Chain A
């Protein structure tokens, strides 16, 4: 791969946060003109390692060299001086500024601010690599993928030769991902070096020349992408053999459980979020919900759970004996009082499902604190439940008195799902249940959902990874800008077709 001297060489890098060793004696070379994948589970130290390269963190020990010269990178500005730019997972853009304003922000150029000239340079960069950015467009008018493009152009505008992208596809549709990869290939052709942080194997295979695997902060190994396969990479990533298929037991006696008809929801600032949505969720099956993020998934689940005011339409809960009850206009407490056992695993785990600063026991109490005697809470039952969840779901925690915020993402999710399942629900709503989780934890969650399905629970699974949706769900409802674009059969649906349905109602090809 190119010259013999690496463009970047990191030697024996160690970084600790308190007791946590984020990177332990990691050595890594990046060569000019290659696309390198940095692969590892959550908490394996990929982002920390790259943050040290881009000047956000400073290593406790170890040496970084650029083109063979030892350097010290103490700030992002110094990283830019070395031609290193990073595109973070969470965009750092000013919403009310235009693309061009954001791109030149913080640059100390000679003379006065000249946005026209900047605009021309931006266009030139876009033409070179095949981006599509309007320099005059405001950020708040942009889609997620456009914002990401602005971030990339921002880095290129500063003359970066080495680009680091932190999980860039997490927010993109399959089509947008393809577009991004095409741009990355153009950059490579132009001699730029690209590092992409990811935990998705098919992306590693699709884009990179070489892959480096980290596990628990340590360097595990590296390979040419062409000489490895998904199974080998997974085993290196997880540290043992992992089966890579998701079970889909056939639904037993599926009966309608929740019937949503003509549901229309507006947000508090009167934006139409759901438009005339109709579908049925059945007991004993998993109904997947696909869509670009922010297309009404959140509102749909919250409307069913009684957390979102409904403008019109109905949500009916169908009892085993066939009687129906309308859930519209009822808050979570009233729904529970009606005897409807509805569990909800929300997208925002620590901001909604759990209280981060409280310990496991107190978080278990969220659902049960009202059942204590008199004015006092009962802490014994939730404590037992917490201990049970820790044991059965193998939650990795020092104890049930640890604040859940201190746990890793996967363990937080196990606590949340464990609590919601403990209520023996008849309906289980889950939003992005495996977002940010490593492979192990993700499979634990799939397993738990399947278990609920077998027990006759109507499971609704809002997901973002189409591959998983297609493997796990019995039926998939595709949302497009708050409307039902279609409902497809999980076993027979085609990934591209679903991708098209996400961006266009009904998924029809554009034919102008």
Chain B
């Protein structure tokens, strides 16, 4: 019987619900652990003092007033995309087309600025740009939603493919609009007239952008939590059969929700062109359409939690950029540190939900492991 007479090395059991203080303590510990691991790797790989590296990272994110504004601007863009994902993901519609929906919004905004910049007053132009970018973003998400609702196509692949269509469209128009000719770039649009540029509030160039995203975030929170639509979205996401059983028109909810999701992405594209960059490139969204997906998941689809998560990600990325310039490190090194920190934060959720028992742990405390 000796062969069979052994307890499994470790087994995992689900924990009971944990008080929030304890779960936040675990998250805090995980961040501290991440920083320690990062410190060890930093010292081993570069020989630098980890504390000064961390200091530089914070410096890079918050060091000057300008840096804080840039951080705010970056956070707003990421938050806006994550908020746009929220209703779709609540409905378990995996919209991976944020990138394309944002880009198509930037495209239509840029088109309005270029073709109508000197024809209509700037105020009207901005209004037109908002409407156009929201509508086009909504259409870009609405197409896969329609196919999903009618024929149950795979929304993940469909939205993903729509990204490439959008990128190619933007690439095509950049050639048409390039300025100066032959540069392969669209320079700053309407630099002399500022037509279609979002105005600065006082001397704060990015403030209007941040306020608009804050408003959208709050509205989305209320929409999801208190409106009938939000309730329908939750029901459809949990069980389409239950939704049909109580007379919710599932296909209509899917399309409607994706119009909202895509519309906000389109709005985000407008904010980029009109509010901050005043130009258009194929990499304007810069992968943030996908990073927004990560933010939405980490925040468990809660728009208010997304504020914290997108801020954290932007601080990390700004800090990573800073240390690579200050210490002349490869840009990838900053990304490695960011990756380690994210890994620990996501991993901490496992320890909040599960408990690990080691062999012999039950009988003799502090056994030979």
Stretch among A32-40, A202-210, A346-354, A407-415 lining the B interface = A346-354
Chain B residue at minimum C-beta to C-beta distance from A19 = B16
Which residues of A lie under 8 Å from residue B1 when comparing CB positions?
Answer: 69-71
Which residues of B lie under 8 Å from residue A348 when comparing CB positions?
Answer: 241
Cβ-defined partner of B238 (8 Å) among A17, A60, A333, A355: A355
Stretch among B4-12, B41-49, B259-267 lining the A interface = B4-12
Chain B residue at minimum C-beta to C-beta distance from A356 = B238
Cβ-defined partner of B239 (8 Å) among A81, A355, A369, A377: A355
Which residues of A lie under 8 Å from residue B230 when comparing CB positions?
Answer: 377
CB-CB under 8 A for A352 and B239, given A61-B362, A74-B7, A336-B247: yes
Query: For the side of the interface on A, what is the size category?
Result: 35 or more
Which residues of B lie under 8 Å from residue A219 when comparing CB positions?
Answer: none
Q: State the CA gap A331–B247 with chains docked (Å).
A: 7
CB-CB under 8 A for A358 and B247, given A60-B362, A365-B231, A369-B228: no
Question: Cβ of B7 and Cβ of A346 under 8 Å apart?
Answer: no
Is A31 close to B, CB under 8 A?
no
Q: State the CA gap A354–B239 with chains docked (Å).
A: 9
Q: State the CA gap A362–B224 with chains docked (Å).
A: 13
Question: Cβ of B245 and Cβ of A344 under 8 Å apart?
Answer: yes
Cβ-defined partner of A72 (8 Å) among B4, B13, B229: B4
Chain B residue at minimum C-beta to C-beta distance from A379 = B226
> In the complex, how many residues of chain B place their beta carbon closer than 8 angstroms to a beta carbon of chain A?
29
Question: Cβ of A375 and Cβ of B247 under 8 Å apart?
Answer: no
Q: State the CA gap A70–B5 with chains docked (Å).
A: 8
Is B14 close to A, CB under 8 A?
yes
Q: State the CA gap A73–B8 with chains docked (Å).
A: 9
Q: State the CA gap A357–B300 with chains docked (Å).
A: 14
Q: State the CA gap A497–B158 with chains docked (Å).
A: 56
Question: Cβ of A369 and Cβ of B231 under 8 Å apart?
Answer: yes
Chain A nearest CB from B200 CB (Å) reads 34
Question: Cβ of B245 and Cβ of A353 under 8 Å apart?
Answer: yes
Cβ-defined partner of A366 (8 Å) among B16, B226, B242: B242
Q: State the CA gap A357–B244 with chains docked (Å).
A: 17
Question: Cβ of A58 and Cβ of B235 under 8 Å apart?
Answer: no
Which residues of B lie under 8 Å from residue A336 when comparing CB positions?
Answer: 247
Taking beta carbons and an 8 Å cutoff, which residues of A are in contact with B? 17-19, 58, 60-61, 69-74, 78, 81-82, 305, 307, 331-333, 336, 344, 346, 348, 351-358, 362, 365-367, 369-370, 372, 375-377
Please name 10 further chain A to chain B contacts, defined as beta carbons within 8 Å, in addition to the given A18-B13, A352-B239, A355-B239, sorted by A numbering. Answer: A58-B11, A72-B6, A332-B244, A332-B245, A351-B241, A358-B235, A365-B231, A366-B246, A372-B228, A375-B228
Taking beta carbons and an 8 Å cutoff, which residues of B are in contact with A? 1, 4-8, 11, 13-16, 226-232, 234-235, 238-239, 241-242, 244-247, 362
Interface pairs (12), CB distance under 8 Å: A70-B1, A71-B5, A72-B5, A73-B4, A81-B4, A348-B241, A351-B239, A353-B245, A365-B231, A369-B231, A372-B228, A377-B228
